[in-house]
Chain A
Amino acid sequence: MKRKAWVVPVLLFSLIAAACTGDDDGDTTTPPDGGAVTQRDFRFEVVTHGQSSDPFWSVAANGVNDAAADMGVTVNYNAPGTFDMVEMASLIEAAVASEPDGLVVSLPDADALGPAVQAAVDAGIPVITMNSGSDDFADLGALAHVGQTEFEAGLLAGQRFADEGVQNPICVNQEVGNSALDDRCDGFFEGVGVEGEVIPVDLTDPTGTTETMTGVIQADESIDGILTLGPTGATPTLAALQEAGRLGDIAFATFDLSPEVLEAIDAGDMLFAIDQAQYLQGYLPIVFLTKYLETGAIPLGSVNRVVLTGPQIVTADTAADVIDFSADGLR
């Protein structure tokens, strides 16, 4: 039996090798039967800071996969296991080394990721940024940015809160270090006209976030407006408001959608949600890159070369329709 011990590792290796070479396409979904999709010989790499376990990012990843199927191209989606800029820069380096036909990245920290993205541009790879980095992408040489301008979106939310008569707002940040979220809070307080407090929480720890928010709400009775910046902040805050017995009393809105958020808006517990349509943030860059390679033209965007996908306000009137899309992973 000892003589045959080498068989097992060799078998394991060949199995893994077969699995890898067999499906070279990585993340591609094949088009439905009978679909007349032109198969194009392009390979794009997508590197974002969002893990697929995050409900927000799984919608963006769905957009990426659907675009790959519709365009007939190969796309690989990669993200670090946690919000780690050093690891993300390393992933971008690997993606660039594989010599793809195009690169799509998010830019939550332009300082840390700048050199890696610059290297991609210097290597002649067309780069499109999405979701974060609307202020920094042009300096790095990216062709376009698909997303929403965060300060303006926060401003919009703040102005709506001011209309409600909010005097003591707080902003809940679930991913500190992401400059886009800092911009949202800044715009929000500017819109309300009051410099409120930013409460940092951890998007990977819903229970901890609930407890933190319960503590904050109970400690200060004068808080009359809460803005969360994502579903991983909104859902625990809903639970905290319920625990503190103040659901519906405090003006509450959020960025980005989830089924729970939409139900809450429908029920009147939340004022509105600002949707940045992350599905489109995943879908459109793939389409733009494909057409850029084929025609040489790229959309110029609407504001500072940003192709805006938000802010799309979802209120109680429209929530019911959006709920179905959200359950399908499309909004």
Chain B
Amino acid sequence: MATETAPAPVVQEDERVRRGGALSRLLSRPELGALVGVVLVYVFFAIVAADHNFVSFPTLASILNRAAPLGILAVAVALLMIAGEFDLSIGSILGFAGMAILILVTSPDDGGYGLALWPAVGIAIVLASFTGVVNGVLVNLTKLPSFIITLGTLFIFRGLTIAVTRALTNRTQLSGLDEVSRDVPRPGFDLAHTLFGIKVEVLGGRFDIAILWWIGLAALATWILLRTRQGNWIFGTGGAVDAARNVGVPVNRVKLTLFVTTAVAASLVALIQVVQTNSADTLRGAGLEFEAIIAAVVGGCLLTGGYGSVVGAALGALIFAMTRQGIVITGIDGDWYQVVLGTVLVVAVIFNNFVRKKAAAR
């Protein structure tokens, strides 16, 4: 009898698991809704403001310049939101950090500490990260919703900024970052200006260097979120915190780190604005926390956590800035700005939801 090798067993594909087509996978990415939103809003204003030079490099520059600070905040806020927490105090931390820099460099005659520029910047960032630690520790210890905790710290940090500044200097606005005294430039300011405040002229539009910081941080955050173990921890913490903890994800450490991240992001934006305007005031940054959350939600992050994308939040910031500048360029009466802005944002979120449901159903 001839030996016959048994026929190779037929490998059965598991028909319960279907690998969707490339298009389908592209459509179900959380960024898609935001990307379509960007295109739609741009086309809308390009039509409506056609004779007001909307499609041009100067306009593009004004939009990106407006989007960059918000975008940096939105990137950090998106990471935190995906982990299931809110940080409403970043606007106050921004004002706090900016004011700290100015108080530290102001001369002792005016109530400051007379430090050199870069040590002052370093100390301010350390102080800001400390506020992030406060937020994180409070949230971890009390197990209260971060919405409430950071709402409280919003007031505490803003109040500290106002009270300490007034107590030390009797003013609420300090300027003169570039000069130690009249016509005496401050050492270190040129480097700071090159890193954070310079404008690059491209084809008639003057673009802030902050745009590069925004893109760089968004890329870094996306890589961390999608390609590293820590990114998985973030999704796990936001999606199913108890299951994640049981699997060994250090949930408390993740949340603490993310609160410190939002605080440092706020201090970076504060530094950029302080270098750009040469001054700090105690009210700076008020309201930005809500803008950042809106940008993240428009970009596809769920308010409940566990789902979202950093690129989407960056695009959300772009939609926000496009709407803001578009309204001015179109010539809509400034009184109606808030109505139009709110409408565009609600429509963008509804549309985002619609696209996600459609894509998920394929």
Contact = CB atoms under 8 A, between A and B. Distances in A.
A290 interface: no
A12 B343 contact: yes
Q: Which of A25, A77, A82, A99 is packed against the most chain B CB atoms within 10 Å?
A: A99
B212 interface: no
Contacts of B325: 90, 93-94, 97
Interface in B183-238: 199, 205-206
Given A52-B334, A78-B334, A95-B328, A115 B52 contact: no
A102 B187 CA distance: 38
B328 A17 contact: no
A146 interface: no
A95 B49 CA distance: 12
B53 A98 contact: yes
B66 A90 contact: yes
Leading 9 A-B pairs by shortest Cβ distance = A26-B331, A112-B277, A97-B58, A94-B328, A177-B173, A93-B62, A97-B59, A94-B325, A98-B329
Nearest to B166: A200
A52 B172 contact: no
A325 interface: no
A84 B49 CA distance: 26
B268 interface: no
Interface stretch (B113-121, B141-149, B310-318, B346-354): B346-354
A16 interface: yes
Given A86-B284, A111-B279, A96 B172 contact: no
Contact of A79 (B47, B172, B334): B334
Interface in B167-182: 170-173, 175
A176 B172 contact: yes
Contacts of B62: 90, 93-94, 96-97
B333 A96 contact: no
Interface string B324-342: 1100111111110110100
Interface in A65-120: 74, 76-79, 81-86, 89-91, 93-99, 109, 111-112, 115, 119
Interface of B: 40, 44, 47-49, 51-54, 56, 58-59, 61-62, 65-66, 69, 166, 170-173, 175, 199, 205-206, 273, 276-279, 281, 283-284, 286-287, 324-325, 328-335, 337-338, 340, 343, 347, 350-351, 354
A123 B206 CA distance: 11
Contact of B278 (A52, A94, A112): A112
A189 to B, nearest CB: 14
B19 to A, nearest CB: 27
B338 A25 contact: no
A9 interface: yes
Contact of B48 (A21, A79, A85, A198): A21
B58 A20 contact: no
A82 B53 contact: no
Contacts of A25: 331
Q: Which of A17, A91, A94, A109 is packed against the most chain B CB atoms within 10 Å?
A: A94
Nearest to B199: A115
Contact of B284 (A12, A24, A84, A95): A84
A9 B328 contact: no
Contacts of B206: 119
Nearest to A46: B334
A180 B44 CA distance: 40
Nearest to B354: A5
14 contacts: A13-B40, A13-B44, A27-B333, A43-B331, A52-B334, A86-B69, A93-B61, A93-B65, A95-B329, A98-B54, A98-B329, A99-B56, A112-B278, A115-B276
A268 B223 CA distance: 70
Contacts of B284: 84, 86
A27 B328 CA distance: 11
Contacts of B199: 115
Given A17-B47, A97-B53, A97-B59, A111 B328 contact: no
Contacts of B205: 97
Interface in A1-42: 5-6, 9, 12-13, 16-17, 20-21, 24-27
A82 B286 contact: yes
Contacts of B56: 97, 99
A87 B66 CA distance: 8
Nearest to A114: B278
Contacts of B52: 98-99
A284 B53 CA distance: 27
B59 A111 contact: no
Contacts of B337: 81
A94 B283 contact: no
A17 B334 contact: no
A99 B279 contact: no
A109 B279 CA distance: 10
Contacts of A27: 331, 333-334
Nearest to A5: B354
Nearest to B177: A111
Nearest to A18: B48
Contacts of B278: 111-112
A144 B277 CA distance: 23
A200 B172 contact: yes
Contacts of A79: 334
Contact of A91 (B328, B333, B340): B328
A86 B175 contact: no
A84 B273 contact: no
A305 B196 CA distance: 35
Q: Which of A25, A74, A111 is packed against the most chain B CB atoms within 10 Å?
A: A111
B61 to A, nearest CB: 7
B47 A96 contact: no
A94 B329 contact: yes
